[in-house]
Every structure is written in C-alpha cells, then in structure tokens.
Structure 1
Amino acid sequence: MTVDGAADPRDRLGAATRKVVGAAAGALGITWVVRAAWGIPSAMGAGISAIQPTAISSVRYRKGQFHNTEPSSMLNPGSGLSMLNNVLTRRNLGRAPGPIPLVTPELPEQAADLAVTWYGHATTLVEVDGYRVLTDPVWSERVSPSPLVGPLRQHPVPQPLAELPAVDAVIISHDHYDHLDRDTVAQLVRLQSAVFIVPLGIGAHLRHWQVPEDRIVELDWATSVSLSDLGRARDDGSDLVITCTEARHFSGRGLVRNTTLWASWSIAGPAHRVYFGGDTGYTKAFTQAGENLGPFDITLLPIGAYDAAWPDVHMNPEEAVRAHADLNRGDAGHGLLVPIHWATFNLAFHGWSEPVQRMVAAATEAGTEVAVPKPGQRIDRIGVPPRDTWWEDVSR
C-alpha cells in the first residue's frame, strides 16, 4: 500500500499474475484429468450384456459370475488394515533397484521344436513343433485403462511388436490389464493374422475392439481346439492342440468382478508340450492337468505378486515349484520351469528379486531344472540350461 492509502500498482500486478497463474494451473489440472481419463471406457472393454450370452454356456457361470472350483477369496477377511499399512510403507519394495538388462530377441525364420522367449511379465513367445504361440501380450507402458495412471513398466519391451515374426495363435489367460491390453490387441489385429484363443467371455472384449469374428475362439475349462480345426495347420500335416485348463484366480476390468473366465493353457504339438500358467493361485487342478495332458517339456508359471492377504489367487515361488511337479505327474525333475509374472510391473509388496531368489532355492531343493531368462532372452535348450544369476547384479 502507498502512504496515502492508494493501492500500489505492484500489488495490482501481483494479483493479476496470481489470477493468470491460477487459471493456467486450473486449466492444466483439467487437461491432466482429461488425458488421464481419455479412452478409459473403450479400454475397459465390453459390458456385461455383451459378455453374458457366451458366459451362460458354462456350468461355472452362476448368478452373473464365474466361480473357482476350490473356495477362494480375492482378499483374506480382516486384512484391510495390513493392506493399508503395506500401501503406505511397502509400495516401493517391488521396484527394481537398478537397470534391468535386456536382450534383443534373436528369432529363427522357422519356429523351433521347443523354445520360449520371455518379453516380460506373462508375455512369452512359445515355439512348439514348428508353431509359434504368443501368450498374454502386453506392449503398453502401463497396465491400466488410463494412459497416465497405473503400474508403469520397469523395463522397455525388448522388441517392437512390428518386428515379431508371424504368430499362429495368441492365447489370453484372463482379462486383467496386465494380461489383456487393448492397444496391443489392436496392433496384433493389424500386424498379424493369428487367431485369438481365449477363455469364455473375453471374446466380447475382443469384438468391442474390432477383432474379426473369425479370429476369435472362446473356450471353457477342459475344452480344446486344434489349429487344423481352424484351417491353420502346417502344410506338413502336423497339428497343434491348445487346451483351456482350470486356474484359480478371478477377473474384472472395472468394479464388477468375475464376468469373464480365467484359465491356464496346454500347448501340445506332435512331439512337445508346454504349459502356460498365466496368473493363478496354487490349485489341485495342476495335478489333474498333469494326469490328463502332461507331462510338459516346459512349464511357464507365475512366481510374483503374491501376498499373505491373497494366497488363494496368486502362487508364491515355492508353490510354483510344487505346481511344476504336479504338472509332470509328480516328477519334479522332468522338464524345465521358466518363471513368469515377475520383474516387469510392481504389483505387490515383496522385493523385486525376492520371487526368483525363493524360486531358485526351492527348485534346487526339489531337483527341478529352471531357466530364468532376461527380458527378450530366448531359451532353446532341452535339459540343463545355462545358469545365469543376472538378477543379483540388478539388486546390488
């Protein structure tokens, strides 16, 4: 203020500046909210009315939801306070302490008899008897319906989707965002001619995203499809049979849960078999799959995102080793265990390398051979793989 009480021009200038800055900040805030919300309805996928006509064909679908065979809870009763404490104090434990090494995939022109390339989390490219199957493909930076909110990728995708060789089939385990990604699906529709083989109900999401009907196959647990059935067998007469197997999990891309089915998968050629676990808690269904479909040359099993608050729907590393034995008819030493569902996204409250450390220790005790590829690395050896503890370098 001036001595005579008149307003100082500098005060008026300051007030005007604050008004402009405030308006700009408000506009930026609105812009951020708009950007964060942009595309969410489409990314969430189809609604219940579109899903239900297919879902009701299953005996596992009751009162508008799918159900696990074994009693299962997404969250243990009474764990709310511990969960809140973990969110406040342990949410950063799953972040990698250093750069995660990548390998640029070196893929042969012709698919091998048996190989797997891990792209991170549950995304793998499986080669079985000359066929290629892509599992739970996620190339996006976040696993969320929002481009600005949600778990962020901790390492780049090792290879652009456009550089992927021709794929014979894409299989999806369930509809959570870290396993079913709209933008990746859209690119695959444009870049590939592969068929999408999915659990019941997920076809509605794919149709919502303009996937052609003739490229969608929906299966219930214990049902199969062969590529020859789809007119996609090799010219040499060999075939690939993909079987939808029981998992113990849940589904949902919004507030409503379990409107679509979740699954694991058996991929069987004339000479080799691979089991893709996707995302699941430990279940007696592994023993049943081993008896009916095994043994398996490679098991791809989740080892991360476990917690005492949700033991029914996510395996811990020791359970993954036990599941490998179940899938191989009790023989822990048969085949190769390759861990998935760890390292790429921070989805739980354990340390970044804890899952693989615990898995390796349990596998050593059980006599189970394991291979822990770096993101982008292709494992193509049968028997004892090269032992590389690369994750220890990241954790130093």
Structure 2
Amino acid sequence: MSTPLRVTRIGHACQLIELGGLRVLTDPWFTQTATYYPGEPLASAVGALGRVDAVVVSHEHYDHCDLDALVTGGFDLATPLIGPGTVAAIARDKGFRDVRVVEAWEATTIGDLTVTAAPGKHGVHEVTFVLQAGERTVFFGGDSLRVPELDTIPDRFGPVDLAILPTNGLCVRPMNDRQVVMDAEEAAGLTAALRPAVAVPHHYAFHSGRLGDRMITRGDRDPRHYADAVARLAPGVDVRLVLPGTPVVVP
C-alpha cells in the first residue's frame, strides 16, 4: 500500500506536505508589508498548523523565510529547520535550535524523511528540495528559475509523485527587468522532464501593491497559463489548480 501523500497550500510558496505521518512546512510566509502582498487569503495561522516535523526554507527572502511570524506565533523552535547556509544563519539568530545546512545534492534525515537539497537559481542564493519518505518523492521548487540540473532528478531519485513549481516568471524592474523566477512555459518544460504524477503550481498570486507592481516587480498571476503549457508539453500529468486550504491527495 502506498504511503499517503497530500499537500495543502497555505499561501504563496508556503505548503504543508504530508508524507504518511510526517508533516513538512515549506517556505513560511504568514504576514505582509507595504510591498509584499500574498494576493490570496492564508489558509492557516501559525498557531493552527498543528504538529510540524520539519521546516524547509529555500532562501532568505522575506516571503519565503518569514521566521519572525513563526516565532511570534508560538512555533516550536526545536523543530528541525533545513536550508542553505544563508538561511541557517538567520534561523539560528531567531532561536531555532535544530538547524540543518544543506547545499545542492546534500541531504539530511528526520525519522523516515530524507530531505535533499537540489540546485536552484534566483536573485539570491537558493536551493530547491527533494523530499522522500516511504516510496514517495516530492520536488519543491521554491521560487527558482529552471536550471538544467533539475532535469536529472528522476534519474537520481526515481519517479516523482508530486512536483510543486513556481510559475509567475517574476521580473525585477529596477534590475533591467531581470527575470528571477521560472515562468509558466519554463515550469511546464521542467514538468515534462520530471514527469510527476501530480503537479501543483504556486508563487503566482503574489504582488507588490499598486505602486510596486508598476515600479518594482511584474509577473504572471494566472496559473492557467501553466496548466495550458503542461497540456501541450507533458500531457498526462495531472495539474491541480487549488485555492489555499484545499488539500491535494496524490494517488
């Protein structure tokens, strides 16, 4: 019998992934500022998450590493927190007591869960993650660009059950419109390489506010563009477009 696998998007790239009895929180973001808007209602407050066995954080940007919200929300700071060295320094400063540093292709274990960092590329140093428990494999793409090494994941880890990918192609206007996140077409191309049973897009509702959207960032906020691209490039992959709080069960 397959290990139960489901994911519930809290908002943005913050996901609660459940592999059997193990619960993993990704890239926490529970607050907002004048230029960081989730663009969708959060599915849960920190205090309502319940038990969390591990936190994985892809990079230090506020909308993926909102550790202050975890601290003020009463989160258990003994929970293992896993991320690159840039994240680890912040986590230790916030009082997290079990901080695991992983860089590309390095791994750590929490009980039956293995967390392996995979390469990523963004405006700052970033890793992505492969989560494995039982016979299940999940790829979590943070808000990375597509990099060629990610195409090798099925060869390295076997079949992928669930892929969670950013899709908004975020560009930073003051940096000559530099793209820092994969767009729908690039995410669909990676989906074709990973061939997951189920794919869930995220990191598309975010915006920078009325002024910030004109002066700071621009991005594609419609996940249907990703679903359409997957239908062309990876037919047969089950794409789920869900509101925060709606669990996706992977067969």
Partner residue in 1 for 2:46: 161
Alignment pair present for 1:126 and 2:11: no
Distance 1:189 1:296 in 2: 34
Q: Does 1:340 align with 2:209?
A: no
Give the drift of 1:188. 6.1
- The structure 1 segments of at least 4 consecutive aligned residues displaced by more than 4 Å after TM superposition are none
Alignment correspondent of 1:296: 160
Q: Distance in 2 between matches of 1:117 and 1:180?
A: 18
User: What is the number of residues matched between the two proteins?
Assistant: 236
Mapped pair 1:310 → 2:172:
no
Where does the alignment leave 5 or more consecutive residues of structure 2 unmatched? none
**CA offset at residue 161 of structure 1?**
1.3
Higher helix share: 1
Q: Check the 8 A contact 1:174/1:263 in 2, yes or no.
A: yes
> Matches of residues 37-52 of structure 1 in structure 2 within 5 Å?
none
**Aligned pairs for 1:105-124 within 5 A:** 113-124=4-15
Q: Structure 1 CA distance, aligned partners of 2:40 and 2:228?
A: 25
Paired residues of 2:197 and 2:238 also in contact (CA < 8 A): yes
1:352 aligns with 2:225: no
Residues 327/192 of structure 1: CA separation in 2 closer, same or farther (3 Å cut): same
Q: What is the one-letter code of the residue matched to 1:377?
A: T
Instruction: State the alpha-carbon separation in 1 of the partners of residues 159 and 69 from structure 2.
Output: 32
**Backbone CA RMSD of aligned residues:** 2.0
2:110 aligned with 1:242, yes or no? no
* Structure 2 counterparts to residues 223-262 of structure 1, below 5 A: 223-227=106-110, 233=111, 239-251=112-124, 261-262=125-126
The residue type paired with residue 125 of structure 1 is L
Report if the CA contact (8 A) 1:305-1:341 is conserved: no
SS at match of 1:362: helix
Q: In 1, distance between residues paired with 2:154 and 2:123?
A: 22
Among candidates 51, 54, 60, match of residue 175 of structure 1: 60
> SS at 1:201's partner residue?
helix
- 1:378 maps onto 2:247 in alignment: yes
Identify if the C-alpha distance between structure 1 residues 325 and 351 changes in structure 2 by more than 3 Å, giving closer, same or farther: closer
Give, in whole Å, the separation in 1 of the partners of 2:169 and 2:186: 13
* C-alpha distance in structure 2 between counterparts of 1:263 and 1:132, whole Å: 20
Q: State the distance in 2 between where 1:191 and 1:157 align.
A: 20
Q: Is this contact kept in 2: 1:241–1:268, CA < 8 A?
A: yes
| Contact 2:191–2:230, Cα closer than 8 Å, also in 1 | no
CA drift of 1:117 comes to 0.1
Structure with bigger gyration radius: 1
> CA contact under 8 A between 1:162 and 1:191: conserved in structure 2?
no
Is the alpha carbon distance of 1:190 and 1:161 closer, same or farther for their aligned partners in structure 2, counting shifts above 3 Å?
closer
> Cα distance, 1:128 vs. partner?
1.2
Does the residue aligned with 2:178 lie in a helix, a strand or coil?
coil
Residues 1:381 and 1:208: Cα distance change in structure 2 (over 3 Å) = closer
Structure having the higher strand fraction is 2
Displacement after TM superposition at 1:351 (Å): 5.1
Given residue 15 of structure 2, which amino acid in structure 1 is its aligned partner? T
136, 139, 156: which is aligned to 1:275?
Answer: 139
Q: Tell me which of 69, 83, 100 is aligned to 1:184.
A: 69
Match of 1:365 among 232, 235, 240: 232
What TM-score do the two structures reach when normalised by structure 1? 0.56
Structure 1 residue 375: Cα displacement: 1.2
Q: 1:345 to 1:191 in 2, by over 3 A?
A: farther
Residue 31 of structure 2: aligned partner = 140
Q: Deviations over 1:102-143 (max 9, x none)?
A: xxxxxxxxxx7100001111000001132110000111123x
Q: Could you report, residue by residue, the CA deviation over 1:271-311 in whole angstroms, capped at 9, with x for unpaired residues? A: 21110000111110111223212321000000014349324
| TM norm structure 2 | 0.86
Aligned with 2:104 (options 194, 218, 221): 221
**Percentage of matched positions with identical amino acids:** 26
> In the aligned structure 1, how far is the partner of 2:181 from the partner of 2:38?
20
**Letter of the 1:156 counterpart:** P
| Alignment match of 2:80 (pick from 195, 204, 210) | 195
Structure 1: where are the runs of 5+ without partners?
Answer: 1-111, 143-148, 228-232, 234-238, 252-260, 329-333, 383-396
